[in-house]
Amino acid sequence: MIVKVLCTDSISTSMEDPSDLCMQAVQCYETEPEKAVYLFTRASELGSAEGYFGLAEMKINGMGTSKDIPGAVDLYRKSAELGNTPAMFRLGSMYTGSYGYPEDKEKCRYWFEKAAEGGVELAYPEIAAIYFYGYGTEIDHKKANHYYQKAAEAGDPGSMFMLGYMKTEGVGTDVDQKGAIEWFRKAAVAGIPEAQFRMARAAEDGIIEGGDKVAMQWYVMASNNGFAPAKFNLATMYYEGRGSDRDVVKAYLLYDEVAATDDADALFMTARMLFEGLGVEQDVEAAMKRFGRSAELGNQLAIEFLTDLRRKQNTQFVKIDGL
């Protein structure tokens, strides 16, 4: 998508004003892309940073001209070198290697950081992650925390979660459990399932008020967002009757969804329920298959169950897949 920018060139050295050319191009790029290309080209010929940027946007999207990624990158660079911060952000993105242009970790870091220093909010979480994981540079958790803070304050939910995590673990900052919960809550309200899971755990552990009922509410949100650990814990709450009435049918269905991802613990729980006919029709053969797979994946309870079962076998033969 074309990024609409307001040209800021205030003085033209010719009869044509690059600002006016850019403005006209922005107004017509969707309906008359060829005309927009002409206008952005003319503005760039007059040395306009916004002209270079606009022409790069047209080339990267193949609007009014043939798609030309290397040509667009060259134009973004010219624009960025003239101080255009959106172009700096675009260059950072291009050098990730995700847009059909060769990856360059150092240039990626350089341009994202320049964009962040220039106030581009979208660049804050990008450069934060670069310093957190050491992408193209040394790991620097203090810098990561600085930029995650800026991103979170600008409203980025993922950065809110990362701030919560860093405050919980004391990564790049002091341990601050109260502050961590505040950021986890904001991220959870914004829809981050990992944060919703953290809030559920905090309720279960008594860190926040509400106990099992509040924990279940957060687990339901995270589960509905597809977060497997939340589905497993929610299933356990239904299985044990915590936070609501006991419902082994719901418990089995949730465990089964997680088991489909080859999760050892969920495989064990569904095997147990199939074996006992609890919340699902009894199916010993299917149970044995799941016990076997769970054991293969290292679940100690499944290993102990099968070992004990073998000890009790005399003349009866029970087929245990995979073992």
Q: Is residue 282 part of a domain?
A: yes
- The sign of the CA dihedral 282, 286, 288, 290 is negative
pLDDT band at 319 (very low <50, low <70, confident <90, very high): low
Judged by phi (left if over 0) then psi (alpha if -120 to 50, else beta), residue 211 lies in left
Model confidence over 202-253: pLDDT tens digits? 999 999 999 999 999 999 999 999 999 999 999 999 999 999 999 999 999 9
Model confidence over 184-204: pLDDT tens digits? 999 999 999 999 999 999 999
What is the mean pLDDT of the segment spanning 48-52? 97
Q: Is residue 95 part of a domain?
A: yes
Q: Is residue 184 part of a domain?
A: no
pLDDT at 262: 98
Neighbours of 27 (CB within 10 A): 14
Q: Contact, 33 vs 24, CB < 8 A?
A: no
Query: For residue 196, what are its two tokens?
Result: 């919703």
Tell me how far apart the alpha carbons of residues 231 and 222 are, in angstroms, rounded to a whole number.
8
pLDDT at 5: 43
Model confidence over 60-83: pLDDT tens digits? 999 999 999 999 999 999 999 999
Q: What range does the domain containing 275 cover?
A: 248-323
pLDDT at 7: 40
Where among 87, 115, 143 does a domain terminate?
115
pLDDT at 10: 37
Q: Is residue 273 part of a domain?
A: yes
* pLDDT higher than threshold 90 for residue 149: yes
* Percent of the chain topping pLDDT 70: 92
In this structure, what CATH number is given to the domain that contains residue 18? 1.25.40.10
Q: Contact, 237 vs 219, CB < 8 A?
A: yes
Across the chain, mean pLDDT equals 93
Q: Is residue 139 part of a domain?
A: no
Show the DSSP H helices in the chain as ranges. Answer: 18-28, 33-45, 49-61, 69-81, 85-94, 105-117, 123-133, 141-153, 157-169, 177-189, 193-204, 211-224, 228-240, 248-259, 264-276, 284-296, 300-312
Query: For residue 250, what are its two tokens?
Result: 């719901």
DSSP 136: S
Where among 70, 94, 115 does a domain terminate?
115
Angle at 236 between CA 234 and CA 238, to 5 degrees: 75
Helix (H, G, I), strand (E, B) or coil at 9: coil
Q: Is residue 66 part of a domain?
A: yes
Q: Contact, 234 vs 266, CB < 8 A?
A: no
Q: Is residue 209 part of a domain?
A: no
Q: Is residue 267 part of a domain?
A: yes
Helix (H, G, I), strand (E, B) or coil at 6: coil
Where among 85, 115, 145 does a domain terminate?
115
What is the mean pLDDT of the segment spanning 272-284? 97
In total, how many domains does the chain have? 2
